[in-house]
Every structure is written in structure tokens, then in C-alpha cells.
Chains A and B, each alone.
Chain A
Amino acid sequence: MSAIEVRNISKAFRGHRAVDGVSFTVEPGTVTGFLGPNGAGKTTTLRCLLGLVRPDRGEGLFGGRPYASLPAPASEVGAVLEANNLHPGRSGRNHLRTLCDAEGLPLSRADEVLDEVGIAEAGGKRVAGYSMGMRQRLSLAGALLGDPRVLILDEPANGLDPRGIDWLRRFLDYQAHERGVAVLVSSHVLAEVEQTVDNVVIIARGRLVHQGTLSELTGGGESLHEAFLRLTDQENSEQPVGGSR
């Protein structure tokens, strides 16, 4: 059974089809890049998968169960949708502690994950004083609290400097290939993911256009960049708007 299974998800907002029958799977021990142009429906797909948005059709499953039916969701799935889902007036450590409370974890986990993402010294500072990169790391720390077997990260490299991106690559590599975590990471910046991902899922205009291994896609001498442009630019129909929120 796949760690993540997206099964035929469709979602329309005010008549506009943001996601249209998208299906794919993610296996344990792999990093899957979820790629597509801005507004292709990546974020909406992830929100449907995680139960924040109710899909019109289809469902998302984790080991065969919908997110809302998982007995302890945060200890099975760690997800970061936006690095700005943080209260600016609360310290990083207190943010994590509110999550420890809700997840029934000891408060000491907060300091452990702060250390794991490399911002232990900023734990006592209010989030208002954090850089975008520190917010990304704090959000990631929140996803790690329950020591999950699945990680879902939406545009995790946004706001990271080159050193941060390098750190993120090594982090994802470690999680998937050393610890056996199933990692799904969305991105619209191909250079970020090319060195990290094992598999790619590409969507455009709300529809799946490709799922397979990275080596399959680039095996014929085509770069990921060229393949991406070819796959996502087949039709000249109007680019959907408003699908990324």
C-alpha cells in the first residue's frame, strides 16, 4: 500500500476547475517532486489531500486512510503548507509547544526539533523577528514534532538562501533515503528539486501530465527543464487563476 495515494481528486472554486481528476502515489523511502507552473493546482491538491479543502470528487489516502480518519495524524504525516502560518507575536518555542499540547507530546520535543532544523538559538525570539528562511525552518520543525513517516512540503525552498537550500536538500535526502520517510515536495523552481527527487509528478492547468521517475524523464538526453516546458505547454488554453490558494 502506498504511503500517499491521491485518487482522482477534483476541485472547482466558483466554477473554475482548479484540480481536475489528479491521481498519483508516493512510496516510502522516496522523494517525489510535485511540479507545475504557478496556478497549476499544486496547493489545492495538497489541501484536498490533507482535509483542509473538501474535494468535489476523489480522495487522498495515507496508508489507505483519509487524513481526518488517522488516529494521530501529526505522528503519521508532517505537513507544511505555508511558512507564514505563524503568529508574529509568539516565540518559535511557544508556537511548537502549542502543537506539543495538541498532539499530546512532551514539551521537550519543541527544543529537540528546533535543534534538528538548526534554529535552536532563536527559539525564545518572537516570530516577528524571524527571516523568511527561519520561518520555513520553524514550520518544518512543527511538522517534525510527531516524528512522522510521511512529509508533505509545499514550496519549502521559498525564502531560503543558497545555504538554506543546500541544507534542505540534505535534510530531504536524509529523511527519505536514511529514515525511509515518504516525502512529497511541491515546487515551481526546477533547479531546487532536480538534485534531490527520485520521482516527479507534473501537473498543468489542474490535470496530471506526467508521473514517473526522474531518470525516465531525463534519460533521453532531455533536461528536466526542457521536459517540464514540453509537458506543461502543450495547449495554449488560458492559464487558470486563483487555484494556488
Chain B
Amino acid sequence: MTWSINNDKCLRCGGCVSVCPVAALELRDNIIYDKKLCTLCGICDKACPVEAIKVTKQ
């Protein structure tokens, strides 16, 4: 199970941060991801206005 972001697609809007239930994301110059907090729920991917975030559950 992995979380990844494509920084070429990301528009730094912070939408993913606003919906993250566990405060695992933060917007600085790029999105900062805290693997320890993340539950891989995929809500950030759903909110993202572009296709920048990928959460794979395998």
C-alpha cells in the first residue's frame, strides 16, 4: 500500500490537506506527507482537482 504525489501535476492548492482526517498532509512549497499518520484512506485523492495523488491498496 502506497501514497504518492506527482509534483508536476500538483497545483499546490491544499485541497488534499483540507480533507485529510488525520492531519497527515501539509502544504509548504510542496505537499509534505507524514507516512506515520496516513491511513491510506484515499480521501485526498478523491478531493484533488487534478490527478496528482495516487493511493494504491494492494
**A and B: partners?**
no
A residues in contact (CB < 8 Å) with B: none
